[in-house]
C-alpha cells in the first residue's frame, strides 16, 4: 500500500515563488527552442514533459524516438531523489535524519550533496549552512500563526545552527545536538538537475535543457549556439540574458518569497544571525559546471556583499556571477 | 407531403450513419477525470455516512476521498463510475457515491445520478434509491473470492439490467478500492502473468568473457588513479580533497568492476559451477533475484563497515525510483569464474535481492559505487560512479498486454458474465419469443395459404396479438420504445458498446428481428404483430366492435395530414436527445408503453389518465396512437421503403375503381388510388384475405365466373373474357355480360 495523501501546499513550500520566477523566464527560451527543434533537420517530434520536482514545476524537453521511455526513467530518478531530499515527504532520507537526529546507511546522494554543502560552507565563511533549518522552521511556523518569532525561541533555535555539528561517513550521518535539522532546499534542486542530466547523458543524449527549478544544459541549443535563458528580476524580464552551453544556471531571489504578508521577511536566513538577508539583492544568478554548486552559491550570495561574493568566487574558478542586482 | 419527404431524407441519413457506426466499436470506459470531487461537493459527508463530518483530500493512487470524523479517517468515499464501468441500459453511467470502512464493509451508498429509462418514474426511481441505500452494511470481503458471496441479487421485474449494473459496479468498485487500500485484509491480487516482461529461462549466454561483455551481459566500470584524482579536484568537491590525491601513476587501477544479474538462468549456468548453482538457488527466494559483483584493484567495493554491521556501504542498486542496499548475510563469495577469458578477480560476491524489493531483472538498473577519500582524521569527500546494466532483449519474453489492457479484458469479462447470467435467467422467455418469431415468419412466408381462410386469419391474428400482449408485454416486459433508439443515438456520442445493448435479451432479440423485418417486410411485422401496446389497442378495439361501438373513419385528407404528427414528435425527441438524454427520456413519456405494459397501469394518475384517454379514442378510431402519435412507429416507418420485397399482392383493379380493401384497412393505409403506403401498413394481412376472397373481391368473383362459364362452354362469353383480360376491369366485365 503506497497511497499518500495529496501534498497540500505546506508553509515550507515558500521556495516556490523564487523558482517560478526563473522558470517562467526560462520557459520562453525552452518553448522557442522547441519550435526550432521541431523544424530542425531531425524529423523527430518534440517531446516535453512538465511535472513537479521537490514541490516545484520542472520540465524536460527532448526529441528522441524513445522520448517517453527516457523521460519515464528521468521521472523515476526524480521521484527517487525526492525520496532522499524532500522535506515535505516524511519518509525521505532527509526527513528521517531530521526526525531521528541520525541516519544509518545514508543514500550516496545525501553524502555527496552534504559533502558539497561543506565545501560551499567553508568557502562562504559559513553563510551557506543547511543546519539553519531549526530557525527556518521557527520563522515559518510563527508567521503561519501570524506572529513574529519569539526572541527566546529564536535564540534557542539559533543555538542549534552550526555546520560543525553535522557528522557523516558512509555508514551514518548524525547531529551533535538533539533538535538540529538540515534543509537542502538551497541545493537539492540543482543536485537533482545534475543527476537527471547524468542519466540523460548515459542514454547518449545531448542538447537538452533540464529544468528542475534550476537549469542544467546538456550540450547547447539543438539549433546551434547556446541555450538562451532569460532572467526575471522581480517581474522585469531580461530576455536571453544568459547563454547556457554545457553549463548550469541557478538563481535566487531573496524576497521572491517571504515569511510574512508584508513581504519584508525574506526566506533566505543568515545562519550567523538567524535573521533574513540584510543585503539589497533582488536576484542573484550564478553559473557553474554543476547545477548543485550554482544553486548553493546563489543561495549563499544572497547574504553577501559584492566584495564578499568576489572573494568567495576565488575558490570556484569555474563558477561565475552572471547577475547581481 | 413535402414535410414527410424532408423528414424521411433526413432520418434515413441518420439511420445509415447509425448502422455504419454500429460496426465500429470505440469503447469509452470510465471517465478520464475522476468525478468524485464534483459529487462530494454537492453531497455532505454526513449524508453519506451519518458519523462522518468531512471528506479528506483525494488520494493519489485511486480516486478515493477519506471520510473524516474529527480529523480521523473512519472510511473511504468513492464514486462507482470513477473506478469501474457502470454503463447502464441507457448507455450512460449510473453514478453511485459510496463509502467503505477500513474493514471492507460498505458504510453507505447513495444513488447520485442515473438515466435508466425504466428508473425514471417516481416510484421506480425511489425503489432504485432504496435499493442502493440497502447496500449499507454489505461486507465485501466474501466477494473477493471468485464467484463472490452468491448472495441473491435483488430482482425488480423489468429493470433487471439496471439492477445488475448497480450491484456489479458497486461491488466491483468497492473491491477495487479495498484491494488498493488494503482494507479488510484484502490485498491486490498478484499481477497477472502476461502483463509484465519475463526473463526467458531458455536462452543460453555466450561462452567467453569477451562475448559476454560484448553482449552486454556483463557490464564493466573501470576507475583509474587519474580519473579519481581529477574528479576529487572538481570545483564542487571540498578544496581539501585535492590535497590528498592518490599518489600512484595516473593509469594505475583503482577498481575494475564487473556486474551482471546472475539469477538469470542463462547466466547462472554459464558463470557458476553446479555446486555454486545449488547454493545460489538456496539463497535466492521465490520472486527474488541476485546480482554478481566481481572486481579487482585496491579499492574494495565491500569496504570495511560490513564487518561491524553487515551492511555494504559502498554499493547500492538503483532501479526506477527504488534503491536497494545489500547485506553481507545475503551474499555468497566465489573465488573463480569458470568462463573462458575471465580475469582473475579479487572480490566476487553473489548478492541476493529479496522479493519484497520488487527488483525487475528485465528492466535496466544501475549499480552505484561510492568512492570516498579521507581528508585528515574525520573529514571525507565522496564521489559516486554508476554502472548501467540492461538485460539484452533476447533474454526477455515481452509482456503480451499492458495492465490497462488486462483490466479492460477483465472489465469486458465481467460484463459478459453479467450478460450471460441475465440471458440464462431468461431462457424460457427467449425460447417463447423465438417461437413467436418463427411462427410469424412462417405466417408471412406462407401468407397465401393462411389468408385463404378469413376465419383462420382472423383467429390466428387474435391469438397472436393476445400472446404478444400477455406474454411479450405483461410477462416479459419486452416492449420496444423510442428510448432504446435515443440511448443508441446518445451512445454513439459517448462511446458505443455492444455489451450495453445485448444486456437485455428480449429487447435485443426484438430489435434484431425488427431490423431483419424492415428489410423483408417493413415496419408492419413489429408494429402490427409484436408491439404489445399495439396489440392492446387492437384487442380493445375488437371488443368495442363486438359491442357495436360505432367506428369513426377519418376523412382521407385528415388521415393523411395526421400521419405527419408522429414524425414531428419523433424529430422533436431526436433533437432533444442531442442536447440532453435525460430531458428526452422525460419527453418520451408521450409513449404510454411504460404505463400500459411495464408498470401495468400502476402509476401516478396523470400517466394512467393519458393512457386511458388514448385507449378510449382507440375504441372509436382503430390504432389511433399507432397511426398518428407513435414516435417509435415513425422511426420504423422511415426506413420502411428500403424493404426488398413486396409481399402484399394487388390487382390492377385495386383502387381503380374498387375501394373495398381501402375502406376496410384498419389503419387507412391504402390510398384511394389503390397503392398501399408502406410507412403506414401494419401487415395485418386483411387485404390479402380479401385478395383471395371469392365472396368479396370483384376480381376473384369475376374470374370464378369466367372459369364457370368456360366450364359450361358458353362461347359468346369467352370473347368477353378475352376483352376482360385485355382491360382487366370489373366494370368492363359487367358491360360484356
Q: What is the pLDDT of residues B436-468, one digit of tens each?
A: 999 999 998 898 899 899 999 999 999 999 999
Of the two residues B107 and B381, the one the predictor is more confident about is B107
How far is A253 from chain B, CA to nearest CA, in Å?
A: 22
How far is B406 from chain A, CA to nearest CA, in Å?
A: 21
Question: Which among A83, A107, A316 is the nearest to B235, CB-wise?
Answer: A316
Residue B492's pLDDT is 83
Show which residues on chain B lie within 8 Å of chain A, measured between beta carbons: 56-62, 66, 180-182, 234-239, 303, 305, 309, 311, 313-314, 316, 318, 320-323, 325, 364, 368, 370, 372, 378-384, 386, 388
CA dist., res. B41 & res. B36, Å (int): 8
pLDDT class for B724, splitting at 50, 70, 90?
A: low
In a domain, B416, yes or no: no
In angstroms, the Cα distances linking A134 to A86, A210, B72 are 16, 31, 29
Residue A275's pLDDT is 85
Residue A266's pLDDT is 75
pLDDT class for B656, splitting at 50, 70, 90?
A: confident
**Is the CB of A111 inside 8 Å of chain B's CB atoms?**
yes
Q: Are B321 and A171 within 8 A, CB to CB?
A: no
Same domain, B323 and B256: yes
**Is the CB of A15 inside 8 Å of chain B's CB atoms?**
no
Mean pLDDT calculated for residue range B184-189:
76
Which among B332, B724, B67, B63 has a CA at the least distance from the CA of A3? B63
**Is the CB of A73 inside 8 Å of chain B's CB atoms?**
yes
In a domain, B420, yes or no: no
**Is the CB of A66 inside 8 Å of chain B's CB atoms?**
no
Please determine, for residue B58, whether its predicted confidence score (pLDDT) is greater than 70. Answer: yes
pLDDT class for B723, splitting at 50, 70, 90?
A: low
In a domain, B675, yes or no: no
Q: Are B59 and A122 within 8 A, CB to CB?
A: no
Of the two residues B469 and A13, the one the predictor is more confident about is B469
Question: Which among B318, B368, B380 is the nearest to A169, CB-wise?
Answer: B380
Residue B714's pLDDT is 59
Instruction: Please name the residue of chain B whose CA is at the shortest distance from the CA of residue A296.
Output: B236
Same domain, B430 and B556: yes
CB atoms within 10 A of CB B478: 27
Structurally, how many domains does chain B consist of? Answer: 4
Same domain, B486 and B602: yes
B569 in Cβ contact with B577 (< 8 Å): no
Half-sphere exposure of B430 (CA within 13 A, CB side): 13
Instruction: Please name the residue of chain B whose CA is at the shortest distance from the CA of residue A319.
Output: B235
CA dist., res. B171 & res. B188, Å (int): 15
User: Considering B580, B615, B647, which residue would you say is the last residue of a domain?
Assistant: B647
Furthest-apart CA pair in chain B: how many Å?
144
Same domain, B298 and B447: no
Q: Are A170 and B314 within 8 A, CB to CB?
A: yes
Same domain, B522 and B584: yes
Instruction: Please name the residue of chain B whose CA is at the shortest distance from the CA of residue A71.
Output: B320
Same domain, B356 and B456: no
Chain A residues closer than 8 Å to B239 by CB? 119, 122-123, 315
Please determine, for residue B16, whether its predicted confidence score (pLDDT) is greater than 70. Answer: no
**Residues A310-320: tens digit of each pLDDT:** 999 988 888 99
In a domain, B683, yes or no: no
Question: Which among B181, B239, B370 is the nearest to A1, CB-wise?
Answer: B181
Torsion, Cα B206 B366 B387 B225, to 10 degrees, reads -150
Chain A residues closer than 8 Å to B238 by CB? 115, 118-119, 122
Please determine, for residue B294, whether its predicted confidence score (pLDDT) is greater than 60. Answer: yes
Q: Are A119 and B325 within 8 A, CB to CB?
A: no
Residue of B176, B219, B236, B388 to mutate for A, most A C-beta atoms under 10 A: B236
In a domain, B149, yes or no: yes
Given the C-alpha cell 524576497, which residue does it identify? A255
Q: Are A6 and B181 within 8 A, CB to CB?
A: no
Question: Which among B56, B313, B318 is the nearest to A170, CB-wise?
Answer: B313
**Residues B60-96: tens digit of each pLDDT:** 778 999 999 988 899 999 999 888 878 776 667 889 9
Strands (DSSP E) found in B142-279: 198-199, 219-224, 253-261
Instruction: Please name the residue of chain B whose CA is at the shortest distance from the CA of residue A82.
Output: B321
B232 in Cβ contact with B383 (< 8 Å): yes
Burial bucket for residue B431 (CB in 10 Å: 0-12, 13-18, 19+): exposed
Residue B546's pLDDT is 93
How far is A111 from chain B, CA to nearest CA, in Å?
A: 7
Which among B605, B420, B436 has a CA at the least distance from the CA of B532? B436
Residue B8's pLDDT is 28
What percentage of chain A exceeds 90 in pLDDT? 34
Here the cell at position B569 is: 414528435
Same domain, B179 and B204: no
Beta strand pairing status for B64-69 and B72-79? antiparallel
Indicate the range of A219-223, A280-284, B129-133, B261-265 predicted with least confidence. Answer: A219-223
Same domain, B177 and B205: no
Residue A2's pLDDT is 34
Query: Which residue intervals of B272-338 are DSSP H helices?
Result: 274-283, 306-309
**Ranges of chain A with pLDDT below 50:** 1-43
Half-sphere exposure of B268 (CA within 13 A, CB side): 19
Chain A residues closer than 8 Å to B321 by CB? 76-77, 79-80, 83
CA dist., res. A115 & res. B49, Å (int): 53
Q: Please, which residues have CB within 8 angstroms of residue A110's CB and are 6 or more apart in sequence?
A: A84, A85, A93, A94, A97, A103, A173
pLDDT class for B248, splitting at 50, 70, 90?
A: confident
Instruction: Please name the residue of chain A whose CA is at the shortest distance from the CA of residue B240.
Output: A119
**Is the CB of A290 inside 8 Å of chain B's CB atoms?**
yes
Residue B277's pLDDT is 94
Q: What range does the domain containing B248 cover?
A: 198-397
Residue A221's pLDDT is 77
Quote the radius of gyration of chain A (alpha carbons, Å). Answer: 19
3-state secondary structure of B256: strand
How far is A52 from chain B, CA to nearest CA, in Å?
A: 14
Please determine, for residue B470, whether its predicted confidence score (pLDDT) is greater than 90. Answer: yes
Half-sphere exposure of B514 (CA within 13 A, CB side): 26
In angstroms, the Cα distances linking A158 to A124, A273, B529 are 19, 8, 93
Same domain, B171 and B112: yes
Question: Which among A79, A167, A315 is the nearest to B321, CB-wise?
Answer: A79
CA dist., res. B682 & res. B516, Å (int): 16
Same domain, B216 and B162: no
In a domain, B4, yes or no: no
Chain B residues closer than 8 Å to A51 by CB? none
Of the two residues B519 and B116, the one the predictor is more confident about is B519
In a domain, B402, yes or no: no
Same domain, B431 and B534: yes
Q: What is the DSSP letter of B435?
A: H
In angstroms, the Cα distances linking B480 to B94, B261, B509, B724 are 21, 64, 11, 48
**Residues B401-426: tens digit of each pLDDT:** 877 788 788 778 877 877 887 788 88
Residue B23's pLDDT is 30
Chain B residues closer than 8 Å to A77 by CB? 321
Residue B728's pLDDT is 54
B532 in Cβ contact with B473 (< 8 Å): yes
Same domain, B221 and B169: no
CB contacts under 8 A, A 202-221 vs B, are 202
Residue of B61, B235, B360, B393 to mutate for A, most A C-beta atoms under 10 A: B235
CA dist., res. A284 & res. A266, Å (int): 14
Please determine, for residue B698, whether its predicted confidence score (pLDDT) is greater than 50. Answer: yes
CA dist., res. B581 & res. A302, Å (int): 62
In a domain, B11, yes or no: no
Which backbone phi and psi does B345 adopt, to 5 degrees?
A: -110, 145
Query: Which residue intervals of A130-241 are DSSP H helices?
Result: 133-144, 151-159, 188-202
Q: Are B180 and A3 within 8 A, CB to CB?
A: yes
Q: Please, which residues have CB within 8 angstroms of residue B270's CB and are 6 or more apart in sequence?
A: B204, B205, B206, B207, B212, B339
Q: Are B364 and A202 within 8 A, CB to CB?
A: no
Amino acid at each position: 500500500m503506497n497511497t499518500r495523501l495529496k501534498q497540500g501546499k505546506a508553509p515550507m513550500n515558500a521556495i516556490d515563488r523564487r523558482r517560478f520566477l526563473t522558470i517562467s523566464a526560462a520557459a520562453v527560451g525552452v518553448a522557442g527552442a522547441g519550435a526550432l527543434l521541431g523544424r530542425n533537420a531531425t524529423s523527430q517530434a518534440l517531446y516535453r514533459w512538465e511535472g513537479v520536482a521537490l514541490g516545484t514545476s520542472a520540465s524536460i524537453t527532448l526529441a528522441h524516438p524513445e522520448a517517453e521511455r527516457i523521460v519515464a526513467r528521468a521521472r523515476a530518478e526524480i521521484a527517487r531523489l525526492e525520496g532522499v531530499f524532500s522535506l515535505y515527504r516524511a519518509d525521505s532520507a532527509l526527513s528521517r535524519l531530521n526526525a531521528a537526529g541520525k541516519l544509518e546507511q545514508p543514500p550516496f546522494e545525501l553524502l555527496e550533496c552534504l559533502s558539497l554543502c561543506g565545501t560551499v560552507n567553508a568557502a562562504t565563511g559559513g553563510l551557506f549552512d543547511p543546519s539553519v533549518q531549526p530557525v527556518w522552521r521557527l520563522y515559518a511556523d510563527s508567521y503561519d500563526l501570524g506572529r513574529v518569532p519569539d526572541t527566546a525561541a529564536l535564540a534557542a533555535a539559533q543555538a542549534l545552527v552550526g555546520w560543525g555539528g553535522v557528522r557523516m561517513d558512509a555508514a551514518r550521518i548524525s547531529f551533535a545536538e538533539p533538535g538540529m535539522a538540515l534543509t537542502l532546499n538551497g541545493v537539492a534542486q540543482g543536485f537533482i538537475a545534475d543527476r537527471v542530466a547524468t542519466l540523460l547523458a548515459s542514454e547518449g543524449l545531448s542538447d537538452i535543457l533540464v529544468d528542475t527549478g534550476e537549469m542544467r544544459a546538456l550540450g547547447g541549443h539543438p539549433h546551434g549556439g547556446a541555450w538562451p535563458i532569460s532572467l526575471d528580476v522581480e517581474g522585469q524580464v531580461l530576455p536571453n540574458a544568459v547563454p547556457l552551453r554545457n553549463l548550469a544556471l541557478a538563481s535566487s531571489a531573496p524576497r521572491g518569497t517571504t515569511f510574512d504578508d508584508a513581504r519584508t521577511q525574506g526566506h533566505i536566513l543568515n545562519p550567523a544571525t538567524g535573521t533574513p538577508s540584510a543585503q539589497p539583492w533582488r536576484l542573484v544568478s550564478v553559473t557553474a559546471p554543476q547545477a548543485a554548486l550554482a544553486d548553493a552559491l546563489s543561495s549563499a550570495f544572497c547574504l553577501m556583499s559584492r566584495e564578499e561574493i568576489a572573494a568567495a568566487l576565488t575558490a570556484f574558478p569555474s563558477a561565475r556571477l552572471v547577475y547581481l542586482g | 407531403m413535402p414535410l414527410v419527404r424532408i423528414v424521411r431524407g433526413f432520418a434515413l441519413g441518420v439511420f445509415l450513419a447509425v448502422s455504419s457506426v454500429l460496426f465500429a466499436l470505440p469503447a469509452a470506459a470510465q471517465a478520464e477525470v475522476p468525478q468524485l470531487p464534483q459529487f462530494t461537493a454537492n453531497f455532505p459527508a454526513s449524508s453519506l455516512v451519518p458519523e462522518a463530518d468531512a471528506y479528506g483530500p483525494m488520494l493519489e493512487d485511486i480516486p478515493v476521498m477519506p471520510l473524516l470524523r474529527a480529523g480521523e479517517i473512519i472510511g473511504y468515499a468513492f464514486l462507482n463510475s470513477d473506478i469501474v464501468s457502470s454503463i447502464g441500459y441507457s448507455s450512460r453511467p449510473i453514478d453511485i457515491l459510496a463509502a467503505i470502512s477500513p474493514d471492507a464493509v460498505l458504510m453507505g451508498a447513495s444513488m447520485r445520478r442515473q438515466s435508466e429509462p425504466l428508473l425514471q418514474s417516481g416510484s421506480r426511481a425511489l425503489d432504485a434509491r432504496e435499493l442502493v441505500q440497502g447496500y449499507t452494511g454489505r461486507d465485501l470481503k466474501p466477494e473477493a473470492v471468485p464467484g463472490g458471496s452468491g448472495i441473491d441479487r435483488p430482482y425488480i421485474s423489468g429493470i433487471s439490467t439496471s439492477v445488475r449494473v448497480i450491484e456489479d459496479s458497486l461491488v466491483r468498485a468497492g473491491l477495487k478500492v479495498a484491494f488498493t487500500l488494503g482494507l479488510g485484509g484484502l490485498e491486490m491480487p498478484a499481477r497477472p502473468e502476461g502483463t509484465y516482461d519475463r526473463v526467458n529461462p531458455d536462452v543460453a549466454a555466450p561462452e567467453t568473457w569477451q562475448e559476454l561483455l560484448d553482449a552486454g551481459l556483463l557490464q564493466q566500470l573501470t576507475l583509474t588513479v587519474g580519473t579519481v584524482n581529477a574528479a576529487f579536484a572538481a570545483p564542487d568537491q571540498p578544496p581539501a580533497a585535492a590535497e590528498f590525491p592518490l599518489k600512484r601513476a595516473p593509469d594505475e587501477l583503482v577498481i575494475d568492476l564487473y556486474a551482471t544479474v546472475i539469477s538469470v538462468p542463462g547466466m547462472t549456468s554459464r558463470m557458476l559451477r553446479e555446486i555454486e548453482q545449488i547454493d545460489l538457488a538456496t539463497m535466492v527466494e521465490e520472486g527474488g533475484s541476485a546480482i554478481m559483483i566481481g572486481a579487482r584493484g585496491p579499492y574494495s567495493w565491500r569496504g570495511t563497515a560490513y564487518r561491524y554491521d553487515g551492511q555494504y556501504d559502498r554499493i547500492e542498486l538503483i532501479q526506477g525510483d527504488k534503491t536497494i542496499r545489500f547485506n553481507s548475510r545475503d551474499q555468497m563469495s566465489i573465488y573463480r569464474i569458470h568462463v573462458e577469458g575471465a580475469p582473475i578477480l579479487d572480490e566476487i560476491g553473489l548478492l541476493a535481492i529479496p522479493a519484497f524489493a520488487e527488483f525487475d531483472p528485465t528492466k535496466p538498473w544501475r549499480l552505484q559505487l561510492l568512492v570516498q577519500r579521507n581528508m585528515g582524521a574525520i573529514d571525507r569527500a565522496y564521489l559516486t560512479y554508476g554502472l548501467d546494466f540492461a538485460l539484452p532483449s533476447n533474454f526477455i519474453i515481452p509482456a503480451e498486454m499492458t495492465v490497462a489492457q488486462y483490466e479492460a479484458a477483465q472489465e469486458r469479462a465481467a460484463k459478459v458474465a453479467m450478460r450471460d447470467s441475465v440471458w440464462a435467467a431468461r431462457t424460457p422467455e427467449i425460447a417463447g419469443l423465438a417461437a413467436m418469431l418463427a411462427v410469424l415468419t412462417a405466417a408471412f412466408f406462407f401468407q397465401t395459404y393462411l389468408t385463404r381462410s378469413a376465419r383462420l386469419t382472423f383467429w390466428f391474428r387474435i391469438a397472436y396479438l393476445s400472446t404478444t400482449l400477455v406474454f411479450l408485454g405483461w410477462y416479459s416486459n419486452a416492449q420496444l420504445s423510442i428510448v432504446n433508439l435515443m440511448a443508441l443515438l446518445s451512445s454513439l456520442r459517448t462511446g458505443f458498446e455492444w455489451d450495453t445493448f445485448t444486456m437485455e435479451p428480449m429487447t435485443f432479440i426484438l430489435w434484431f428481428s425488427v431490423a431483419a423485418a424492415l428489410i423483408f417486410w417493413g415496419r408492419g411485422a413489429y408494429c402490427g404483430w409484436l408491439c404489445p401496446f399495439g396489440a392492446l389497442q387492437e384487442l380493445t378495439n375488437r371488443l368495442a366492435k363486438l359491442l357495436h361501438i360505432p367506428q369513426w373513419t377519418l376523412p382521407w385528407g385528415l388521415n393523411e395530414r395526421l400521419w405527419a404528427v408522429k414524425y414531428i414528435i419523433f424529430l422533436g425527441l431526436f433533437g432533444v436527445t442531442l442536447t440532453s438524454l435525460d430531458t428526452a427520456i422525460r419527453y418520451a413519456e408521450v409513449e404510454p408503453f411504460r404505463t400500459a405494459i411495464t408498470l401495468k397501469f400502476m402509476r401516478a394518475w396523470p400517466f394512467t389518465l393519458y393512457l386511458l384517454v388514448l385507449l378510449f379514442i382507440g375504441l372509436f378510431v382503430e390504432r389511433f396512437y399507432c397511426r398518428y402519435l407513435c414516435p417509435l412507429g415513425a422511426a420504423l416507418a422511415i426506413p420502411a421503403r428500403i424493404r426488398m420485397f413486396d409481399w402484399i399482392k394487388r390487382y390492377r383493379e385495386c383502387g381503380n375503381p374498387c375501394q373495398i380493401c381501402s375502406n376496410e384497412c384498419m389503419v387507412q393505409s391504402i390510398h384511394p388510388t389503390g397503392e398501399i403506403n408502406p410507412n403506414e401498413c401494419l401487415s395485418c394481412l386483411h387485404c390479402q384475405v380479401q385478395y383471395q376472397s371469392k365472396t368479396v373481391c370483384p376480381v376473384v368473383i369475376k374470374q370464378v365466373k369466367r372459369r364457370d362459364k368456360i366450364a359450361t362452354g358458353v362461347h359468346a362469353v369467352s370473347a368477353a373474357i378475352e376483352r376482360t383480360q385485355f382491360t382487366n376491369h370489373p366494370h368492363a366485365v359487367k358491360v360484356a355480360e
